[in-house]
A and B are shown apart, each in its own frame.
Chain A
Amino acid sequence: MEYDIRLVLTHTYHLPAGNGRHVVRVVPRALGQRQQLKLSMLTITPQPSEQFDSVDFFGNQTTTFVHADVHSKMVISMACRVAVQQPAPLLDFPLDAEQLAVELSDLRDMGPLSPTHFLGPSPRLKANSEISAFARDIRRERDSVAATVMRLGEALHGVMTFDATATTVDTNPVDAFKLRRGVCQDYSHIMILALRSLGIPAGYVSGYLRTIPPKGAPRLEGADAMHAWVKAWCGAALGWVEYDPTNCCVVGTDHIVVGYGRDYADVSPDIGHLRSAGNQTTAQSVDVKVVA
């Protein structure tokens, strides 16, 4: 599957802002056979006074730019072409929670893929007893780790209602869980907390979602903005499994990965800091078109 992806992020400052510094993570990753980045272009207007790319701890591509002069509007546009391959079917290994715990306590890897980073707590996610209790209720003793991930994702999808107005980008997942409402970020954060409470390493994935579904299939939730889902570590043999709790599915070719992190704070698409006395509004539009 090959996609053309376009993202436009527009910041409007009600009073002119200067000395702006932004770090953005919006370009899809190159993930070997699974996801190939064929070309990409990032355009920022007005022209930044400085701009450079780097790679963060988790291997995500970041672009940092600075606007020294005052401006009242700033637009980040990203266009790219990505080829995505259907992953191999999920083979379950009958690894249970106890065996997982043993594998985890023997970990000796500090690399970005090591599950040790994903057991929490993380910047946005502190253990919460309500979400832990929910996870305990859903989990079945005999389930393998991978089966627990699916079961938990399905259960969460069942109790939550997708609602783009109930929460904001700064909403605490505990509040979203109380409301039983939210968007992909809330679904993912709650699921990560639930998995970690069961001792299963879990991280946050940001990315894009195919906008127009194949014939006959329903339109996916969250396709008109950047999307987020969950990755969970199911033991050394199976490794990382990606699951989308908002759409209740294992991640396949409809999802395009931009960033991996412990939670939203590690992969936020656009984090900025500037001097301005006024408020700002942000608009986002995403288009993910199938080209082949």
Chain B
Amino acid sequence: MASAHINTGTAGNDLLANYTTQPGVHDEMIGADGAVKPAWRDLMDHLGGLSPEGLAHRFARGDQYLREAGVFYRQYDDTVSSEREWPLSHIPVVLGESEWAEIGAGLVQRADLLEHVIQDFYGANDLVRTGQIPAALLGQNPAWLRPMMGAHPKSEPFLNFLSFEIGRGPDGKWWVISDLVESPTTTGFAIENRVALTRVFPNFFSNANVHRIAGFFQAIQQRLFDLRGKGTGQIAMLSPGPMHQHYAEHAYLARYLGLLLVEGEDLIVTEGQAMVRTVSGPKPLSLLWNRVPAAMIDPLELDAGSLIGTPGLLDALRRRTLRTLNGEGAGVLETRALMAFLPKIARKHLGQPLIMPNIATWWCGHAAERDHVINHCEQMMVGSAFSTVPLMADPGTFVFDADKQGSFPDHVTKLLQTSGRELVGQETVTLSTTPVYENGRLVARPMCLRVFLVRTAGGWQMMHGGYARVSGGNDPKALAMQRGGQVADVWVVSDRPVPQTSLLTPTADAPTRAFSEAALPSRAADNLFWVGRNVERAEFNVRLFRAYFARISDGVSPDAPILRYIRKRLMYDVSADVAKIAERFETPLYQGLHAATKIGDRFSPDGMKALKDIVQDVDRLRATKVEPDEVLSEISLLLRKITGFSGLVHENMYRSHGWRFLSLGTSLERAAGMVRVLRELGRADAPDGALNLALELGDSIVSHRARFSVVADRASVFHMLALDGNNPRSIRFHVSRANQQIKELPGQTGGAVLGAVAQRVLLLETQLATVSTDKLTGAVFDQIEAELWALSDALTETYLV
């Protein structure tokens, strides 16, 4: 491809000297005159003053932030999902304030037009009646939700949050590529990109007149409050769950905006009112920011196969006891074929043409348009009329191969003629390019912008910034965007200093974090409880494993009575094979991690990282064949990491109900583990060394020596590990701790009578406080163990289902 060298007009550093643009393609940084555009000059001057090492150092700082914040990109290959590093381009896309205002004018006009259209689609259907929209566009459209017909009051706006993908053509004019209505993703990532870039350019950024984006999120919060109106219920974000591509963003936005993050199974509809099932009982829900595909939200009225919906949710929406940020069913506006009709509707409804046009689109259900598409095949993309994915991002899109002369292949022409109603043609567009930093130099790559709008009391407000997608390749044809690439922050720069709202310290009058601190969904509590239990079980198993291999490495034969006894009594009769023994602690760790990922919004990124780190170790240990000597040191390391994780959680987690359930899981599991140890190792027929092993497993050798300074006997060991209320390894200690936690749970101690769970744990605590060591027979340990599991079941029944 031919290229033009740029006369930089600046200090002539290497970065700009090697930057080449493509002929016939607009570039964001370099103007038509070959000079750096004014909006970019300060940034390029700054970059030009940095050495390659300085740049690398700064970029690494941004990447480090993203890693630590837990921002990653989830991708799917067939059935497997994996995480990879967030592909942030370290060079922002920079636009001047006045140009941004022009974009804003176009998109605000479009937002108003879309509001008019969606009110009609679920209201009078005048657009069809007057021939402005073909009936088939709704009648055959799976995104048009019949159960929502007539449900939305005309007096209330249908749309409150929109985003648009726009691109810039060779003439410098912007085009709308797609309307993103149903779940305008990447809003949350705009914050993360911005924070990362402030780490990359700390000194520069604080002095540059770059518009802040925090105000936009305050406007979203305000809008959520306004929409809830007089309702007193919760405001929540409804997510499809951790396996969804954008779950990380849902969790991030929910945390940032102070919303409860819920999934379909957290909700129940009673007497027409949607409720969140929490550990404090069902709590009314007034407003949802829904990120579940609309067709999946209610299996009784929409997709019956949906496992992520809530039965009855549409009923609550129709009764208006529950609202959503955008009215459900608004996703029909994303229908590709609609773009063919919006320009005319704009002229008729608004009395003026669209300020910013959308991609030229022809619906092939009418003969004239179909013929136009067939006759102009060399500049057409052809695809489904009803799809809501942008044509260029849809693998099902057919694009005419420009190198071949003539016409569409026969099967495409035939399809257009027989199934025209289901197809559209869209003009292939050429995108502008923006610089990205690759291998030490700047390279021009095609890009498009996401722009976000929220409705406020005073009209639509646009985010002064956004989210750019930058192509991984050179092809400026829009289609290339489907093949991955990078994302970039968007800077809107002013000639004057800008207001300094910060993302991290919201202003005092903002309604921050006010929504839902108290409510803990039962599902999240359940997951926390199981994280606690599984991590504790893993720790117990690792201790056991270490004790076992410490003896092996001391030269004790695997056939020695104590080791056979361990395998038979404490390892479920496992064989002497190392790998088999390893499985005993892998499984609970995996389960613990799995449970933890389901509550991404409640768990700190540090905690998640520590947990992932442990699982990687377990993996590595399983994959390599290590000698018993090395096993021991590996295991000790693992044990330190697990206790480190427990400490991290214990030290850092806010003392909420969530923490209580985690702590309860840990305590019940640890108490039950110790019951098992004492029952088995305290038996009269246990081999020599069994009692010392018990002390070792209970990490109590030192304290035992300090207290008793004699050889361990059954009474001293039982005292130490079962009944000593000051030993954080003893059964009694953890039953008491469980009692303290249960007292704080809803409904246990408020009334004149203790709750059922509180009664149970008090009985057990009393038993342990009053029993003497000689009464601790195998049968009593059995009874205590049964009581611990009964307590776990009672908790589950009361709070977690």
Contact = CB atoms under 8 A, between A and B. Distances in A.
Interface of A: 19, 21-23, 50, 56-58, 64, 66, 68, 104-105, 107-110, 114, 116-117, 119-121, 123, 265, 268, 271-273, 275
Contact of A64 (B134, B139, B315): B315
A56 B268 CA distance: 22
Contacts of B130: 108
Nearest to B148: A57
Nearest to A23: B300
A105 B312 CA distance: 36
A271 B149 contact: no
A66 B315 CA distance: 13
Contacts of A107: 134-136, 139
Given A108-B131, A108-B135, A123-B303, A57 B271 contact: no
A109 B135 contact: yes
Contact of A105 (B140, B269, B299, B365): B365
25 contacts: A21-B269, A21-B312, A50-B271, A57-B146, A57-B149, A105-B134, A105-B365, A107-B134, A107-B136, A108-B128, A108-B129, A109-B129, A109-B135, A110-B125, A110-B128, A110-B138, A117-B139, A119-B136, A120-B140, A123-B303, A123-B304, A271-B300, A272-B300, A273-B299, A275-B801
A66 B135 contact: no
A273 B312 CA distance: 10
Given A108-B129, A110-B128, A121 B142 contact: yes
Nearest to A120: B140
Interface string B113-128: 0000000000001001
Contacts of A23: 300-301
A110 B139 CA distance: 7
Q: Which label, helix, strand, loop or mixed, suits the secondary structure of the B interface?
A: loop
A140 B299 CA distance: 41
B336 to A, nearest CB: 16
Contacts of A68: 270
Contacts, number: 71
B147 interface: yes
A104 B420 CA distance: 13
B139 A119 contact: yes
A19 B142 CA distance: 29
B135 A116 contact: yes
Contact of A50 (B146, B270, B299): B270
B316 to A, nearest CB: 12
B580 interface: no
Contacts of B303: 123
B311 interface: yes
B265 to A, nearest CB: 9
Given A21-B311, A116-B140, A121-B140, A66 B300 contact: no
Interface of B: 125, 128-131, 134-136, 138-140, 142, 146-147, 149, 268-271, 299-301, 303-304, 311-312, 315, 365-366, 421, 801
A120 B801 CA distance: 40
A62 to B, nearest CB: 9
A171 to B, nearest CB: 14
A116 B366 contact: no
Q: Which 8 A-B pairs have the closest CB atoms?
A: A116-B139, A57-B146, A273-B311, A116-B135, A110-B125, A107-B135, A21-B311, A117-B139
Contacts of B147: 56-57
Contacts of A109: 128-129, 135
A100 B268 CA distance: 46
Contacts of A119: 136, 139-140, 421
Contacts of B139: 107, 110, 114, 116-117, 119
A107 B365 CA distance: 13
Contacts of B311: 21, 273
A58 B300 CA distance: 16
A192 to B, nearest CB: 14
B150 to A, nearest CB: 9
B51 to A, nearest CB: 60
B340 to A, nearest CB: 15
Contacts of A116: 135-136, 138-140
A272 B300 CA distance: 7
A190 to B, nearest CB: 20
Nearest to B300: A23
Contacts of A117: 139
A282 B147 CA distance: 27
A21 B366 CA distance: 44
A268 B301 CA distance: 11
A154 B125 CA distance: 38
Contacts of B134: 105, 107
Contact of A265 (B270, B304, B312, B801): B304
B650 to A, nearest CB: 34
Q: Which of A21, A114, A271 has the most CB of B within 10 A?
A: A21
Contacts of B128: 108-110
A66 B304 contact: no
Contact of B135 (A58, A110, A268): A110
B269 to A, nearest CB: 7
A271 B301 CA distance: 9
Contacts of A121: 140, 142
Nearest to A127: B419
Contacts of A64: 300, 312, 315
Q: Which of A105, A108, A109, A119 has the most CB of B within 10 A?
A: A108
Contacts of A275: 801
A271 B304 contact: yes
Nearest to B301: A23
A89 B299 CA distance: 41
A57 to B, nearest CB: 4
Contacts of A22: 300
Contacts of A56: 146-147
Contacts of A57: 146-147, 149
Given A68-B270, A116-B139, 15 more contacts: A21-B269, A23-B301, A58-B146, A64-B300, A64-B312, A66-B312, A105-B136, A108-B129, A108-B130, A116-B136, A119-B139, A121-B142, A123-B303, A265-B304, A273-B300
Contacts of A21: 269, 300, 311-312
Contacts of A272: 300
Contacts of A114: 135, 139
A21 B314 CA distance: 13
A80 B130 CA distance: 42
A75 B687 CA distance: 62
Contacts of A110: 125, 128-129, 135, 138-139
B365 A66 contact: no
B275 to A, nearest CB: 11
Nearest to A57: B146
Nearest to B295: A123
Nearest to B365: A105
A255 B465 CA distance: 63
A116 B801 CA distance: 44
A68 to B, nearest CB: 7
B457 to A, nearest CB: 33
Contacts of A50: 270-271
A130 to B, nearest CB: 17
A265 B303 CA distance: 9
A104 B311 CA distance: 35
A157 B677 CA distance: 71
